[in-house]
Chains A and B, each alone.
Chain A
Amino acid sequence: MNTSPVVPDAEHETVPIATNDDVVRARQLVRTLAQRCKLSLVDQTKLVTAASELARNTLVYGGGGVMRAGLVRRDGRAGVTAVFEDSGPGIPDVEQALTDGWTSGGGLGLGLSGARRLVDDFVLDTEPGSGTQVAVTKWAR
């Protein structure tokens, strides 16, 4: 685990996530950032797919929220970070929520666990009753 500080490169952009359209917009912003960061095509695809899963979770399970995303640096290495935040019901059992196939809604149960596999850094912060924050980062190789 790299403990060097993650430094934001520039002001991060915020996208509200309240409709299906917003999920598309969140995806587009992450794609633009991934291209700007010069991630490989496969890494771009993985990060945008993870962002799509997490944005949908924010909308469907969190009742809506925001995504903040931008370029970051750590030890001179460039990356893209996206943070999804809602003030929904939170996740009572994080271990369970990160298990493949487990879902509290009508999904496939791959959103959280799948998104975690697609990124380099994954930080989940949640408290029942006060919301969920998921931060993901993909680093340029």
Chain B
Amino acid sequence: MSERVPVLKIGDVLLVSIQVELEDQVVLELQDDLASRIVESGATGVIIDITAVEIVDSFVGRMLATTASISRLLDAQTVVVGMRPAVAITLVELGLSLGGVRTALTLEKGLEILARRGNAGPAGR
């Protein structure tokens, strides 16, 4: 049985760093976990770090897009950080450009995006 991916909380941000080989069931659990944790914690931002992820197929890509949509409905912004160049090239060729997903190259830049949103207040969205 695979383990769940841990969801960490830092201030108003939930941080998920994917360090395991992603099995479909784990992906679905993560999506559900994130939704509950956003509501429980009142987090306004979610960062999904995929630095260690070697491949993103259509299933994982769909999870990233769905998670971004779910968090938006729950008043949190999602930023996917650390995508490898080979993963980006493959995703586009696969036909998934993840149009609705905000990305940043590094965790630091992702946190900056979320901080700007926080400071900009309600009109900042």
Q: Give A contacts to B, CB under 8 Å.
A: 20-21, 23-24, 27-28, 31, 41-42, 44-46, 48-49, 52-53, 56, 100, 107-108, 110-111, 113-115, 117-118
A residues in contact with B87, CB < 8 Å: 45
Which of B57, B89, B95 has a CB less than 8 Å from the CB of A52? B57
Q: Is A118 within 8 A of B58, CB to CB?
A: no
Q: Is A53 within 8 A of B58, CB to CB?
A: yes
Q: Is A44 within 8 A of B86, CB to CB?
A: yes
CA distance A52 to B95 in the complex (A): 15
B residues in contact with A28, CB < 8 Å: 21
Q: In the complex, what's the smallest C-beta–C-beta distance from A16 to chain B, in angstroms?
A: 16
CA distance A42 to B91 in the complex (A): 11
B54 at the interface (CB under 8 A from A): yes
Q: Kindly count the residue-residue contacts between A and B in the assembled complex, taking CB atoms under 8 Å apart.
A: 73
B residues in contact with A20, CB < 8 Å: 23-25
Q: Is B54 within 8 A of A117, CB to CB?
A: no
CA distance A31 to B85 in the complex (A): 17
Q: Is A45 within 8 A of B55, CB to CB?
A: yes
Which of A31, A46, A52, A111 has a CB less than 8 Å from the CB of B93? A46
CA distance A41 to B87 in the complex (A): 10
B56 at the interface (CB under 8 A from A): yes
A residues in contact with B109, CB < 8 Å: none
Contact with A along B1-34 (1 / 0, CB 8 A): 0100000000000000000011111000000000
Q: Is A114 within 8 A of B95, CB to CB?
A: yes
With most chain B CB atoms within 10 A of its CB, the pick from A21, A23, A41, A49 is A49
Q: Is B95 within 8 A of A49, CB to CB?
A: no
Beta-carbon nearest neighbor of B56 in chain A: A49
B residues in contact with A24, CB < 8 Å: 21-23
